[in-house]
Structure 1
Amino acid sequence: MRQYPIGTPGQPWGEQEKQLWLEQQSIKRSYQQEVVNKLPDKFAGFDILKYGALPYDKARYPLYAVVTSSPDAGRPTVLVTGGVHGYETSGVQGALQFINQHLASYANHFNFIVVPCVSPWGYETINRWNPLALDPNRSFRKGSGAPESEQVITLLDDLALKIDMHIDLHETTDTDNSEFRPALAARDGVFNDNWNIPDGFYLVANTSNPQIAFQQAIIESVRQVTHIAPADENGKIIGADLVSDGVICYDKKALFLCGGVTDAKYVTTTEVYPDSPSASPEQCNQAQIAAITGGLEYVRANA
């Protein structure tokens, strides 16, 4: 297995190595053009809320959420997050397509908080980390030092809504093995153990409250759009045991994952495989939308 080009094997990175890594990153696409410009200017019943900006470049990286203007206490509140890992494109584009094409049809049944791109610097540089070499999806706690994560926490605190459902939109890509896991191991000074990249869609439920029927409703909705990932030869997906067809569990709060940022009853993290020969980019976007709507239909029927 190749050695990562930054750092010394077995030694965690210091500030010099982190700075060297940052200097090797470059802008590859436009957050303004591909994300901000796709947000509606006005949306009846919703506020297009600027909830902050990233300190690396506040003008370039404003942060937006689409939020129900007058939440109804009698309706479930749904949080949708995309782009926690900026390189996972369909999470961002799927969230934007949901906003523009589907959100209005659910507006009378739910209160919504939709954050389409949590990590715009990561989106532009096609990165898992932020410029500080921190993973926002391991940083959803106050004082983590990751502004992407901390500003979402502040947004939710300010809105002060009880969240009933949270769906966090992600991808598992071939670059997880070729770049991001080797970089993580080098940063932390540990041995890198790649995992099998599953070919297909899967979900990550919350270990403490998996809500299997909810997860399976989403799986069946997504199955109409793209294929569901099978288990590997060890009966696992990315090293975790299956608890249901296409579903594994992580302890989201213990790992400070975005999916653990609330106490919602219904929580899941989507994982789309954009490098599959059997899935187009638009299919991946549609899978994210199908996951959201499948979850909404389940909650509407069962909440």
Structure 2
Amino acid sequence: GYSWAISGGEEAAEHFCGQNKINARQASEAHSLMQQLAELVQRRLSLASSGMELELPLRLRPPTSLQAKLIRECVLDGLIDHVAVACPDLGSHAYICADLGREKPVFIHNSSNTFRYRPSPSVIVFNEIISTHKHFMRDCIGVDPLLLAKRAALGKSPLLQLGEFLPVPAPRYMPEQDTVLAFASPSYVPLDHMLPTVEVDVPADTIFRYKVLAKALLEGQVIPGFPSVNLLARPSLVLHAPTNPRVAGIVSPLWQNKVGSRAQLIERWAVDSRFLLEGFLKWIPASMHEDVRLNWPPKASKQSAARRRGDENFR
């Protein structure tokens, strides 16, 4: 914005800085440095001869929606330990942050662009706190709480916790994507602040993924045509009775071998054709055991494995 404003003269640039609460001197210095660097790059790398000549003076265009999103994600990752959450109980436009604790209010400094936003963001990140008669945050930017929740699902920060998976809406196996999805309510750990509920791909390091897959397998969602016999118990038992022998018999092998998808199950059967057999036998009448043993693993998996081997041989 400043690059375009300065093209209209010093007065226009100062007006732009005043409107956007920007230090005019610092913006001018940054703009001059940007132009100097552009000239150096242009000259040293001979950009003109390669058809990549820069148009000087540089006038940066506003970021696209995608660029703005990526910038916000970068800022959030860099300031993940400087998150503040609105707390109206402590005063108008008051926030709380981990640096000061939940009992002390902190406010947005009036030099920050975010100070002008109404309504005030419910969650912000900040660069520093200055203290006078009150505590103020500087260099603030509003953050969508949903973005924090999605970052929690990635499991890349100990400050964001995914939390327990919710029974309602029910978790589900997606046959076409071959993945397990569930809803969770993440939290920002330093403030024990609950974030919006999000549907996430259940991580492979939690047993819940294998429970949902086992339930889907018994319901016939994973392998076409399997199971072809009536079960002795409802598949939903898998999610509610972890100590039940039937449940342990089918969930434990999946969990121990980290088999959390159809593709991984077929790969496992290619290595160990008896995988899951004993666990599955606990779910069907004894009169069917011999037939199941003779036809294990399920035929659909055999066809898929053969097709995969054929593809590999073709390659």
TM-score (norm 1): 0.20
Greater share of helix residues, 1 or 2?
A: 2
- Higher RCO (Cα < 8 Å, 6 or more apart): 1
TM-score of the superposed pair, with normalisation by structure 2: 0.19
